[in-house]
Structure 1
Amino acid sequence: METVINPQTDSSHMDHDEDRKIGEDELSLSEFLVPDTPEIKELKSIYTNEYEYSEYLSEIEFSIAEYYHNENRKVTDKDVIKALKNIKLNRNKPISFFERPLEKKIADSLVEPLEESPLTDHEFTLVLDYVLWVIDNRSWLKDKQAYIKWITYVLGFFSEDEEKKYESQFKKFASKMGVSGAQVDMLLMKREMTDDFFDEEDLFEDEGLLEVLGPDEIFENDRTAEDLETGFFLMEDDEKFDFLLENGPDYVNLVQSYVLELMEKDGFEKIQEFYQKFNEKYENFFPLHFIMGTVYIENDPTLAKFYFEETLKAVENYGDLPKSYKYEIKQNLDSLIKYIEEPAEKPEEKARSSKKGKRKGVSRKKASNEDDEIKWL
């Protein structure tokens, strides 16, 4: 006898699932976490304890691989890094806050395991940090999708033809890097990873491919700021502070990232401390003055104006800049300062100006790139 499903019952079940999903979206991931203990706070990493956290790691990895394979073949490792960073930074906000598809997919995937077996807040951040570390450990492949393709391959999403193509490309590049066949098999999960295998192949010796990288190794002189993004993010706040105080002029993007991250946390006291110490050490470093101006332009326009004026002074005294570049900077800064100085437009004035319409076809005379044709101040 054929089983008949009651449409009303099935519809109610679907409605219930939908209601439950909507309810979860209004919760934050932090609400599924439990308080840290003194012992947990001592943990620096889940490295070597991955098995204990495999349920959460597998959800993140599966979400990334599935998103790449089924939804967006153009997503990059850098996109994954940004998604994980955003989830970590905003774990106390409703899940509906995560609007980008990859972020939403990862956040949604973590709800069920956290409901069943909650992590502490610190453990949760360590899980995300571990995935970031794994991404960094694949950066030697010199591919914008090095980690994404690897995890998609390992989890079996690729077709047979795609697998063969990936293995061929992986082995070809690995051989150029001097990676042994046994190491390649291990990276491709082709051999059982027993203790004897690791000892025999010396994978974790000084020159081993999978050596755990600390800040000193991550920030080798020949690595670019883009390559360093993951390693920098994995540092503690004090380590970031100290690193940038020593190396900031070489990594302006990381300085900006650090200051903006502090701003998002309302860490303005720390921003001021960093600015004062950095400015004492690297006087007239105009990029930091400018970054400070952008940080305060909404919260404290007067202070922002001060930093933009400091930027102007520093640029004037910076001898190595071409005059054309100085001119362009000055034009931009003058516009920002003018924006700050102008009083807010009254509603009736705004309405009148909007009725006048905009002039079309207005050409602007371009400044020459020749240094001797442009007068700086």
Structure 2
Amino acid sequence: MNHDEDSKVGEDELSLSEFLVPDTTEIKEIKSIYENEYEYSEYLSEIEISIAEYYYNYNRKLTDKDVIKALKNIKLNRDKQISFFEKALEKKIVKSLVEPLEENLLFDHEFTLVIDYVLWVIDNRSWIEDKQAYVKWITYVLGFFSEEEEKKYERQFKRFARKMGISGAQVDMLLMKKEMADDFFDEEDIFGESLLEVLDPDEIFSEERTADDLETGFFLMNDDEKFDFLLDKGPDYVELVQDYVTELAEKEEFEKIQDFYKKFNEKNKNFFPLHFIVGSAYLNNDPALAISYFEKTLKATEDSEEFPPEMREELKRYMDILTKLLLEEATEKVEEKVVESKKSKRSRKSGKKASKNNSKSEKV
């Protein structure tokens, strides 16, 4: 047995309770680590990183319930050796906690409060109708998703959140975007009272917020009301325009997209974001048409300071790639037709020969 194997066996014989200090009367009186999360961030981060990494790299079917069961089992059996834990996620979380506990011992009661806090965070996302609400969120926040996966998650999250009456600013807070993501373990930002208040479902669904927020009210409208609202307010709500057009494309309601595009342009001349949004909506359905809308985007932004030169160049490169793909596709179709035509001619010739041979046989 080599050194690595010895080390692995030795680690598996450890238990978390070996690093937990017996509680004092004062420690037992602590009810929660809420508002003191920063003091326990090294343990919280190990748990959440383990969950996100396990979901992203090993098991995309992992649900919030699976995580809850794992955490409860770890809490209940913290006195057991690591080898006791058979499930991969449980073992991963337990092993990740050994090093921080070795460096900074915790009271036993504090450890249970750390686990309870993560369980509370999971429950705090139960308002999202997804069995993987927490799992996907923490994977997104910790930056495990690819750029494409991240954008997809944001689109889905925003669409659902707005339907539930959450404003754009609150959505950004819930997603922990921008500077909040950069300072993930900053005491005031990530674990501070302001964020936790935003995460309170009672506040999220308050009627007062919904009534005062046009962006929220949009998702309470029927299709005709959305159409009229965006014709009037679209330039101020570009993201809603994008969501609306994307949703129509997903339902393959391209005639409605054309109707909206025509009427919107009549009312809002040279609004280049719409050209780009509609072009993106047609990418899978009609690439050639998509290119035409991208060309309109470029033309509309020739003298616009709002559209940076580097974005124009990027769009041009994108259009060149699409054009090349379309040409290749067209060439392949022409070649296929030529081959089919030749096969058809050969087939007809063979048929004529067979017919002549049959005639000769009959005469004989």
> Normalization by structure 2: what TM-score?
0.51
Whether the 8 Å CA contact 1:77–1:148 is kept in 2: the answer is: yes
- How do 1:1-377 residues align onto structure 2 when only pairs under 5 Å count? 15-192=2-179, 203=198, 207-209=202-204
Q: Secondary structure of 1:142's partner?
A: coil
State the shift of 1:72 in Å. 0.5
Name the counterpart of 1:361: none
Which one scores higher on RCO, CA 8 angstroms, separation ≥ 6? 2
Q: Which amino acid in the other structure matches residue 89 of structure 2?
A: L
1:43-69 Cα offsets, whole Å, 9 max, x none, are: 111111111000000000000000000
Tell me the distance in 2 between the aligned counterparts of 1:142 and 1:41. 36
1:8-30 Cα offsets, whole Å, 9 max, x none, are: xxxx9xx3343222112112111
Q: Secondary structure of 2:154's partner?
A: helix
Q: Which amino acid in the other structure matches residue 202 of structure 2?
A: E
Whether the 8 Å CA contact 1:204–1:210 is kept in 2: the answer is: no
1:60-91 Cα offsets, whole Å, 9 max, x none, are: 00000000000000010000000000001111
1:154-212 Cα offsets, whole Å, 9 max, x none, are: 000000000000000000000011111111111111144668x976997378932399x
Whether the 8 Å CA contact 1:137–1:210 is kept in 2: the answer is: no
Tell me the distance in 2 between the aligned counterparts of 1:204 and 1:40. 28
Whether the 8 Å CA contact 2:53–2:139 is kept in 1: the answer is: yes
Q: Which amino acid in the other structure matches residue 137 of structure 1?
A: N
Distance change >3 Å, CA 161–CA 79, structure 1 → 2: same
Q: Secondary structure of 1:139's partner?
A: coil
> Normalization by structure 1: what TM-score?
0.49
Structure 1 stretches of 5 or more lacking a match? 1-11, 212-377
Tell me the distance in 1 between the aligned counterparts of 2:10 and 2:205. 42
1:281-331 Cα offsets, whole Å, 9 max, x none, are: xxxxxxxxxxxxxxxxxxxxxxxxxxxxxxxxxxxxxxxxxxxxxxxxxxx
1:249-287 Cα offsets, whole Å, 9 max, x none, are: xxxxxxxxxxxxxxxxxxxxxxxxxxxxxxxxxxxxxxx
Q: Which amino acid in the other structure matches residue 204 of structure 2?
A: L
Q: Secondary structure of 1:207's partner?
A: helix
1:209-259 Cα offsets, whole Å, 9 max, x none, are: 399xxxxxxxxxxxxxxxxxxxxxxxxxxxxxxxxxxxxxxxxxxxxxxxx
Q: Which amino acid in the other structure matches residue 110 of structure 1?
A: L
Q: Secondary structure of 1:73's partner?
A: coil
Kindly report the root-mean-square deviation, in angstroms, between the aligned alpha carbons of the 2 structures.
2.6
Number of aligned residues: 197
Distance change >3 Å, CA 198–CA 30, structure 1 → 2: closer
Distance change >3 Å, CA 200–CA 29, structure 1 → 2: closer
Whether the 8 Å CA contact 2:124–2:201 is kept in 1: the answer is: no
State the shift of 1:37 in Å. 1.8
Whether the 8 Å CA contact 2:56–2:144 is kept in 1: the answer is: yes
Higher helix share: 2
Distance change >3 Å, CA 209–CA 22, structure 1 → 2: farther
Whether the 8 Å CA contact 2:166–2:205 is kept in 1: the answer is: no
Percent of residue pairs identical:
77
1:327-364 Cα offsets, whole Å, 9 max, x none, are: xxxxxxxxxxxxxxxxxxxxxxxxxxxxxxxxxxxxxx
Whether the 8 Å CA contact 1:25–1:96 is kept in 2: the answer is: yes
Runs of 4+ in 1 over 2 A off after TM superposition: 15-18, 191-195, 197-207
Distance change >3 Å, CA 160–CA 97, structure 1 → 2: same
